Structure 1
Amino acid sequence: MERHFTMNWNHEQLAATIHYPEMDNAEKGADHCRWPLVIICHGFIGNRIGTDRLFVKTARRLSRQGFMVIRFDYVGCGESSGEYGAQGLNHLVEQTRRAIDYGLEIDCIDPERVILLGHSLGGAVAVLTAAKDKRVKSLVLWAAVANPLSDIVRIVGDSVYEQAVKSGQADYSGYRLTAGFFESMTGQHPFQEAGKFNGDVLVVHGSADEDVPVDYCFLYQKMFWLRSLGQCDKEVILQANHTFSSSEHTAQLLKITTDWLHSINKRREEWNDWMI
């Protein structure tokens, strides 16, 4: 079952969709009727549907596997209110934390299994959120941005960035990106925040990604490996683009992700059995 709703954040409304676990699978995988929660963080000027409906496919796949899933639009994206380009990177983090608040208000959610799944800039937001918010227990990063300012400037072009700095704002694909939007990314390097997160991480990237360098997945893996706690697994999907658009690459991405999520659940159960 799916339900559309809105979340209040400051003076804005975030449009969202929640996917409830299918009961047969949920009952098999539930821990005393408490379900794991996955929150999907979309990328730069994206939305909760995703390119080629990637996030819809993901949420429906995961709900069939016994996960509760929330996908939402950041301010100014999709059906949410407000202006996206007037927000900063820190605002995206706080909006993500609002989605966590909402999810954990649901009685049947297991607070020990809260997962952020972030794509592109949403991956960077997921890392920054997890470094700040201890309620996040696991991360899934798809083609995650590692250097927000330089990566977004590369995508929009130098002329858009220079106009925003000079004039206070610039148009990009119908979005008004303010100087503050770019300024908020200055000095932000999510991979350097990796050490503050102690949970398990999956990093997936396409080898043919032309928007975010595939080298970032190796950088993230290295930084997560330097931690004393938490595991990090990495997968590179050959010839996949930034949005894993082909049906073959989407299928690989979803299988890798669901298999990994089930594996960390199994490790958790085995650890609990050992402790008992």
Structure 2
Amino acid sequence: MEPLNVEHAGRTLRGVLHLPHPNPAPAPAVILCHGLGGNRIGGGNDFVVLSRLLSAQGFACYRFDFAAFGESDGDPLDFSVSDQVSQLKAVIAGLERNRAIAPDRISVLGYSMGALVAVLASGDRPLRSLALWAPAGGPLNLPFWEGGPFRDQIREHGRADYNGVAFGDAFIDDLYGIDQFAAARRHEGPVLLAGGTEDGLMRAELIDPYREVWGDRLEQHWIEGMDHGFGSLANRDSMFEVTAAFLSRTA
């Protein structure tokens, strides 16, 4: 495990690279993208545990903080999904230049907002495979963002507060220009889509268009009773197992 930062738009994105030992350089790589308000550690240390699991199976694994989250530079008021997509593409480009990594064998795993970002990035850059945990709905969730108190909070306080996560108009305004399903059509590799049966982000209107786009290239995994978070070590281990097996077959 070694620090590996990426410079993007005048900001330092701070991250950590796990290399397999022994390292079969160049190794296939997996980039981990956290969700809204998250960081490269993951809730309950999940991203660290997963990175160690994947590196033990021969993968290079890179986890990083998006700008304005974790230890990366950036202003929360500048946060938007499109900016995170641009950051992820910079991370991919950096790993492609890393001699320890096979540039044509880079996959992305994203959780929630990070999964939405992964889909959007895959429309612009070839990726070996995608592993998506409960992808956020992007523009399909606009009624929630516009219907809540967030615009009023921004006008009154200069920022909105969503469960302790600050953001500005840039985040909501950006959602209008996003089309994750158009981006999905440009991704040609295999996809894992996984989540809980009780997770609102796994509802049909958000998931069915992916099924239509990816067809037989899409693998699905549902964990009975699980909500948006793992909720238990058993659920976490089940998600890790199916994800690692998918990446081993496809990366």
Asked if the contact 2:95/2:103 (under 8 Å) is kept, the reply is no
Matched residue, 1:86: 78
Matched residues in 2 for 1:68 and 1:155: separation? Answer: 36
Partner secondary structure for residue 123 of structure 2: helix
RMSD (Å), alpha carbons: 2.3
Asked if the contact 2:128/2:250 (under 8 Å) is kept, the reply is no
Asked if the contact 2:97/2:103 (under 8 Å) is kept, the reply is no
Give 1:110's match in structure 2, choosing from 56, 77, 102.
102
Matched residue, 1:191: 181
Matched residue, 2:62: 70
Q: Which ranges of structure 2 fall in alignment gaps of 5 or more residues?
A: none
Q: CA deviation at 1:180?
A: 1.6
Matched residues in 1 for 2:145 and 2:49: separation? Answer: 26
Partner secondary structure for residue 63 of structure 1: helix
Asked if the contact 2:17/2:62 (under 8 Å) is kept, the reply is yes
For residues 125-144 of structure 1, the aligned pairs below 5 Å read 125-134=117-126, 136-144=127-135
Partner secondary structure for residue 132 of structure 1: coil
Matched residues in 1 for 2:239 and 2:145: separation? Answer: 23
TM-score (norm 2): 0.90
Matched residues in 1 for 2:182 and 2:51: separation? Answer: 29
Matched residue, 2:167: 177
Runs of 4+ with >2 A deviation: 149-157, 161-176, 213-219
- Range 173-182 or range 108-117, more displaced: 173-182
Asked if the contact 1:45/1:77 (under 8 Å) is kept, the reply is yes
Partner secondary structure for residue 175 of structure 2: coil
Q: Which ranges of structure 1 fall in alignment gaps of 5 or more residues?
A: 28-32, 266-276
Matched residues in 2 for 1:165 and 1:85: separation? Answer: 13
TM-score (norm 1): 0.83
Q: CA deviation at 1:151?
A: 3.1
**Greater RCO, CA 8 A, separation 6+:** 2
1:15 aligns with 2:14: yes
Q: CA deviation at 1:157?
A: 6.9
Q: CA deviation at 1:214?
A: 3.7
Structure 2 residue identity aligned to 1:236: W
- Range 69-78 or range 185-194, more displaced: 185-194
CA spacing shift, 1:56–1:263, aligned 2, 3 Å? same
Partner secondary structure for residue 35 of structure 2: coil
Matched residue, 1:268: none
Give 1:247's match in structure 2, choosing from 217, 227, 233.
233
Partner secondary structure for residue 4 of structure 2: strand
Q: CA deviation at 1:156?
A: 9.7
CA spacing shift, 1:43–1:85, aligned 2, 3 Å? farther
Matched residue, 1:3: 2
Matched residue, 2:32: 40
Q: Which has the larger radius of gyration?
A: 1
CA spacing shift, 1:217–1:249, aligned 2, 3 Å? farther
- Summarize deviations over 1:49-100 as a string: whole Å, max 9, x none: 1111221111111011100010000011001111133122211011101111
1:238 aligns with 2:224: yes
Matched residue, 1:273: none
How many residues of Structure 1 are paired with residues of Structure 2 in the alignment?
250
Asked if the contact 2:67/2:75 (under 8 Å) is kept, the reply is yes
